[in-house]
Chains A and B, each alone.
Chain A
């Protein structure tokens, strides 16, 4: 009997960009090997359609017309996003299970699991203000 699985999309955001500090060469060797093998396996299983590491240095733009451009995130931050995986899985439980396999967790990396939304939450609230005004938008 064949079964059809409806997949839903999740983003894993890896937080913390200095968790490698203080690890022994053997620990580093294991975590790097495990991380690569994990990513390759998820891709081979069709559960991860891609991902990227992010360069540590970036800019944070804010204020009217983006007039504030600051360096960021902080170079040494437990909160900084260091990279992401894009998952296509059966549901939240599977996304969480995959996140719990992250080899960096035992060294302090943190994984944020976020469902991809069909519609931006701000737009959803705007729709509630004035129904119909935002129909057909593409974002």
Chain B
């Protein structure tokens, strides 16, 4: 162990939330010494894959109240309404800030920013940059961040442990992947901005890097994970790869049809099937309901059997080549490349795919976790504005709004209370180095990373998918526990230090097993159906018992599950009504 790397503020993750936190802190406190630790170069972060857009009220026909209502009803009333209110209020300024920093938002003929409709919205509210919005947003933020000399980056450093001393988080231990060195990086405050955990499932839109790192880091430090049972399936993924076909395809007028060419959503209370896109109806219903309707259709034998599971068709042919190329060119490119069809001439085969974790590290509206000095923002966090089902196009805006809030709050905390307990921190870092060496680099087990990863993913898919019940969830929990046991007998082919990606994969699997456990046990404990969490053995929403957030705490065995009231301000719980 060589010298300590010291900073005021340390951000783990270089995607939208992390970069926004860094720039917000740097603008507010020009002399603050900021560091970003990311296991990939920031422009590889999974923000890059977001396609359709970012929600924020900008047009005169729209209102903050409508954005708030859409978010709350989308969440099946599990979102905290005070947080949703400030989110809706602050989102437009954040999107304008990105505009001022050069984001190439698509425009109206008069030069104003254009918006498009998304699922579950009363008004068109989604800002977009064609259908590569996340890509443009990420590169704009990253390039903007390059002008701040106070932001130091540790690219391709992998954080393996938070260091907590004297009751507060004072930094991380991280591996410099290029050299394999394990180092202590200290700071007065740490922000987790590591994204989601979609890779705990086998079929996901998420990139390989979405392995729940920050969730597990916090969980291990005693911080609860909130609402982890709520996993969003996006209704339109490409079969086989799970590549996302954006909701914007439906926002622009695309329709979903079954094997008979029938717009089946009208059979599930989402009609009428107007020939034009109707807001909050049919294909512009919310993601949870659309994914559930797919399963109903499959049960009726009205889907199409393909080599990678059943599919339905997303048909955009009637939009015409010009509109497809102008508004959703990436959809066309992806369909041609990965399923070999041109959406101008043929419908696109799609099926529901794991897309987003509503749950995450428990934070307040400042991004603060219960552990002093530890903050979280973006998909890794759960404030919660997403509740039981996130409204499409809120996630990019959430990264910006709560990235900024966490950046400012954590910076203020760090200035007041710089890291102090260096001797103790260094001891922890040496422990962590010993753990990594003994558990991974010198272990003589028999199990392969890929075998256990696959077992975890299949356990999650078979028992913890769109529909769950007690038996399926218990089986998933049991399988995960067995996988955790086998993980102790891991053996790596790669024992070297320099750029050991198999070691990273093992550490990521270690994190994912924690995240998966929190998802499965939280789902087992919630004996009701709400939003994306559908229990066939408890099909009704039960506000009397479960208008509450789940808090899962790590123990030696099954997590301890506790509950926390949802903040209700002006929108008392009601039925979710979509369709006309």
A complexed with B: no
